[in-house]
């Protein structure tokens, strides 16, 4: 293929990834704030929790959007999936994000250990984001015009 026909799609992927990292940062900020308030005075500003949950929903939507873009673009280009380590790492990131949201519902139910599980998953998710970004960036290179 001589035209970089999917370039616009990968451009959306790059922007979605930037937004994902932004929302990850907002979640880290609001989550850490909730945690330190809870440990010291046992209550925090009323907006923090809904803000954190809404940001979490946005992050989940962005990641699912990236999954859809990745699959549609790859199928459109090759007709098959599985062309690099980007696929397993991408699936891992989607799985971790779903696990994070699931563990958050356990915190809401007051389950012991749910908070530390939520935090562990999210630290792993950060690593996942860095890897998916690096591998996505390297495959994007072959779509760039010379």
Give the binding site for ligand HEM (CB under 6 A). Answer: 10, 13-14, 17, 24, 27-28, 31-32, 34-35, 38, 49, 52-53, 56, 59-60, 63, 66-67, 70-71, 73-74, 77, 81-84, 86-87, 90, 93-94, 97, 100-101, 104, 107-108, 115, 118-119, 122, 125, 132-133, 136-137, 139-140, 143
The minimum distance between CB 110 and ligand HEM, in angstroms, equals 9
Instruction: Give 30: exposed, middle or buried? Use CB within 10 Å, 0-12, 13-18, 19+.
Output: buried
Sign of CA dihedral 42, 46, 51, 53: positive
The minimum distance between CB 80 and ligand HEM, in angstroms, equals 7
The minimum distance between CB 50 and ligand HEM, in angstroms, equals 9
The minimum distance between CB 36 and ligand HEM, in angstroms, equals 9
Helix ranges (H only) for the chain are 7-40, 48-78, 86-108, 114-140
Q: Which is nearer to ligand HEM, 22 or 101 (CB)?
A: 101
Other CB atoms within 10 Å distance of the CB of residue 17: 18
User: Is residue 110 left, alpha or beta, with left meaning phi > 0 and alpha meaning psi from -120 to 50?
Assistant: left
Q: Which is nearer to ligand HEM, 32 or 127 (CB)?
A: 32
Query: Quick one: tokens of 127?
Result: 């690593």
Q: What is the DSSP letter of 146?
A: -
| Residue number closest to ligand HEM, CB atom | 70
């Amino acid at each position: 293929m001589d035209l970089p026909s999917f370039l616009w799609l990968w451009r959306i992927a790059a922007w979605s990834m930037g937004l994902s990292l932004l929302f990850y940062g907002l979640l880290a900020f609001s989550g850490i704030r909730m945690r330190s308030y809870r440990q010291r005075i046992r209550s925090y500003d009323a907006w923090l929790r809904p803000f954190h949950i809404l940001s979490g929903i946005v992050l989940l939507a962005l990641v699912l959007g990236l999954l859809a873009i990745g699959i549609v673009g790859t199928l459109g280009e090759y007709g098959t999936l599985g062309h690099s380590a980007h696929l397993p790492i991408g699936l891992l990131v989607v799985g971790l994000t779903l696990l994070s949201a699931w563990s958050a519902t356990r915190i809401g139910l007051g389950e012991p250990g749910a908070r530390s599980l939520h935090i562990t998953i999210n630290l792993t998710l950060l690593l996942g984001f860095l890897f998916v970004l690096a591998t996505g960036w390297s495959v994007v290179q072959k779509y760039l015009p010379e």
